[in-house]
Structure 1
């Protein structure tokens, strides 16, 4: 009887181990499938080769491991960009009240590199959240960055003084620590709505890359 019990116990242990292994493999396959689905999204492939206001080269890979809020705009924007950056700053302040939340890096990418050099960006961003990082670059690099995130950009006609307005998509992108697109917020989104959405994504986040 004891021998039968021992054999039965051993068989049960083997079966349990096998079941746990299969469950682990299924979970691993699910995560890999999810990662492939995210990679298939065009926005997840978005990248940039720009420079920050200190002249340091910056790519999306530099921010892996950190949540990112990314907005495209320009310093001569009369109303929309200041409005969006104020909203972004307010959302960041709301999130910073919870010290348990992971780091979040806000980025402002210019769509007007002709006028928005590093010095101009630095001056402009002083009026907003202190951690807001400005990025600029050559016209070609800026166009590539906007195209990578499907951001529409079109410079309008110049007036007698050579001034002009740049028409562009008004959207803020949320990227997770793996560099994948998670959500976006348009002009109608409030700071409170953005903060709630970002918090929800952070709380439900599962790393997808090793």
Structure 2
């Protein structure tokens, strides 16, 4: 009788084996995308920085410029506030993230300017610039588009640019887009979902 009862439970046990934490995790939305690659840029102190310096850390990659009148400050604020939310809800995950701001306007965004701009939102954010050729190379690697607009009467100009924010894994492979346009809570939720 006991043997019969156990043999009847075997199929049920096998069907339940797939439920629970042993299930495979969802695949990251950008897994396998050809985004990212090596770069060599300059930080706020004028030091050369390469992608290898962030090895082993997740990266939030944002491309913009310090003279941007609206979109860049809004996105940077969402990234910084999202990181602060993650500091509270999952501090171990927050410590694994390197937020990086790369300019698309190297003519005006000197190391000091880009460093001040990034740090104004959160001191953890690394501001990077470089020569026009270096910036073009990293933009190409990360599928970022930008174009300088017509000069204004005062000599200033806007830079039109794409707005995607990437979350890269510790080996610099793309995981997901970070939805800065949805606010800090959405940023924190995305980071919490994909940072292990």
Q: Is 1:184 aligned to residue 187 of structure 2?
A: no
What whole-Å deviation, never above 9, does each CA across 1:23-58 have from its counterpart, x for those lacking one?
A: xxxxxxxxxxx9xx95x5311x43321111111211
In structure 2, distance between residues paired with 1:128 and 1:108? 11
Distance in 2 separating the partners of 1:69 and 1:126: 15
State whether residues 71 and 108 of structure 1, in contact with CA within 8 Å, keep that contact through their aligned partners in structure 2: yes
1:85 matched to 2:69? The reply is: no
Decide which structure has greater helix share.
Answer: 1
- Rounded to whole Å, the distance in 1 between the matches of 2:173 and 2:115 is 27
The CA deviation string for residues 104-147 of structure 1, in whole angstroms up to 9 with x for no partner, is 11000000000000111122233211111100000011011111
How far apart, CA to CA, are the structure 2 residues paired with 1:173 and 1:59?
17
- Give the TM-score taking structure 1 as reference length: 0.74
Deviation string 1:167-187 (CA, Å, 9 cap, x unpaired) is: 001111101111110011345
Asked whether 1:52 is paired with 2:43, we answer yes
The aligned runs of 1:103-122 (5 Å cut-off) are 103-122=96-115
Cα distance 1:177–1:96, how it changes in 2: closer, same or farther (>3 A)? same
Secondary structure of the residue aligned to 2:135 is: helix
- The equivalent of 1:162 in structure 2 is 155
In structure 2, how many angstroms separate the alpha carbons of the residues matched to 1:124 and 1:190?
20
| TM-score normalized with structure 2 length | 0.79
Aligned residue runs from structure 1 range 137-176, under 5 A: 137-176=130-169
